[in-house]
Amino acid sequence: MTSTVQILIGMLLINGLISQDLYHWFPAPYLTFFLCSLLSMVCLLGDYILVKLSGIQENGNILRAVTDSTTHASVGALVWAVAEGYEFLGEKKKWLNVLFCAFLAASVDLDHFMAAGSLDLKKALHLQHRPPFHITSLIPAVVFLCWIIGYYRPSMKVFSLMFLASWLSHHLRDANHRGLWLAPFGHTPVFPSVVYIFLIVVLSLIVRICYCHLQTNTVHTSIFQIV
């Protein structure tokens, strides 16, 4: 009987701690739910438009490239908006963080032009091999390096989370077509839409939790507050 009571008390304590953590991580759950839902809809809408544009010949490459980059940027922005929570609604620096994350997410595809050695869109889109910024296994290495530098320059810890949010969301979305490139081991199978969207939403929640942990250990939570 005593052991049963102890177990119940332990479960209640654990439940209380989890509830406190959840409230700390997600003080505005309805906003988080809305942003995650919007994130999913943006992914689906971007994919739908790309399918519709696939049959267009004249200026089709330009339209598809613009749509794809815009979707990547929007997804990156929304992932970081989830990370910022309700704070981004009223603080200019938080909005700048969101916009910067959108830029980072779209910048991944610049390696197409680098690999092509040309600004010609047709050459950039018809490469024989995937360009280097699409190596998913590089992301944890860069995040780790930035986090270490962050002990000397705290803003780099924020950047490491932004980099993770923007580049990994881009890679997960691309995995819907070509899988993840886990060099030197090769590629994963192609991810179905429901899988990659689910993983992006989970990514946004994980980044939010990491960001909350960072906020409790440092004053500077904006990439634009360089110290």
pLDDT band of residue 220 (cuts 50, 70, 90) is low
Confidence of residue 19 (pLDDT cuts 50, 70, 90): low
Question: What is the C-alpha separation between 150 and 144, in angstroms, rounded?
Answer: 10
pTM to 2 decimal places: 0.85
At residue 221, the pLDDT reads 55
| 57 SS3 class | coil
Confidence of residue 113 (pLDDT cuts 50, 70, 90): confident
Tell me: the pLDDT tens digits for 25-44? 787 788 889 999 999 999 99
SS3 15: helix
Mean pLDDT value across the chain: 83
Concatenating the DSSP letter of every residue in 158-213 gives HHHHHHHHHHHHHHHHHHHHH--B-TTS-BPPPPPHHHHHHHHHHHHHHHHHHHHH
Query: 3-class DSSP state for residue 60?
Result: helix
